[in-house]
Amino acid sequence: MTTPEFRCFQLPEGAFREVLKNFDPPELLILSLCSRNANQAVKLNYNKSLGFTLWFSGYTSEPSIGFQCKAPLRTAIVVKEATEFVQIEKFTAEEPEQNGLFTSLIETVVRWAFNSSTEKMDDATKLDDLEKVKIGGQKMEIAKGEFAFEVYSTDPKAGFKTILDYINDLFEDGNGVPLTEEEARYVLAKCDAQEINLSAVFPESFNYTGSFLNYHMISIFYGSWVTIENLISLGESCVDMDIMNSRLTNEDINKFIKHWFKGNMNGFRRLIIKNESVIIQDDILANLKDKMVPVDGIMVYKYELYPSYMDFPPDWNVLQREDGKVLATAITPRTKETVICVWNNIESSQKHPAGFFSYALAPFHNIV
**Model confidence band, residue 91 (pLDDT cutoffs 50, 70, 90):** very low
Question: Over the chain, what is the mean pLDDT?
Answer: 76
Distance from C-alpha of 101 to C-alpha of 178, rounded to nearest angstrom: 18
Residue 90 or 222, more confident: 222
Distance from C-alpha of 235 to C-alpha of 57, rounded to nearest angstrom: 24
Question: Given this model, what pLDDT does residue 115 score?
Answer: 46
Estimate to the nearest angstrom the gap between the alpha carbon of 340 and the chain centroid.
18
Q: Using alpha carbons, select from 198, 285, 283 the residue that is nearest to residue 238.
A: 198
Helix (H) or strand (E) holding 346: helix 346-349
How do residues 142-175 score in pLDDT, each as one tens digit? Answer: 887 666 677 888 887 777 778 877 877 777 654 5
Q: Using alpha carbons, select from 357, 354, 237, 368 the residue that is nearest to residue 297.
A: 354
Q: Using alpha carbons, select from 264, 265, 272, 270 the residue that is nearest to residue 248.
A: 272
**Model confidence band, residue 63 (pLDDT cutoffs 50, 70, 90):** very low
Q: Which of 79-93, 139-153, 224-238, 253-267 has the lowest mean pLDDT?
A: 79-93
Q: What is the DSSP string of 41-76?
A: HHHHHS-TTS--EEEEE-SSSS-EEEEESSS-----
pLDDT at 102 over 50: no
Query: Which residues, including other chains, have CB under 8 Å from residue 65's CB and lie 6 or more apart?
Result: 54, 55, 56, 108, 109, 110, 111, 163, 164, 167
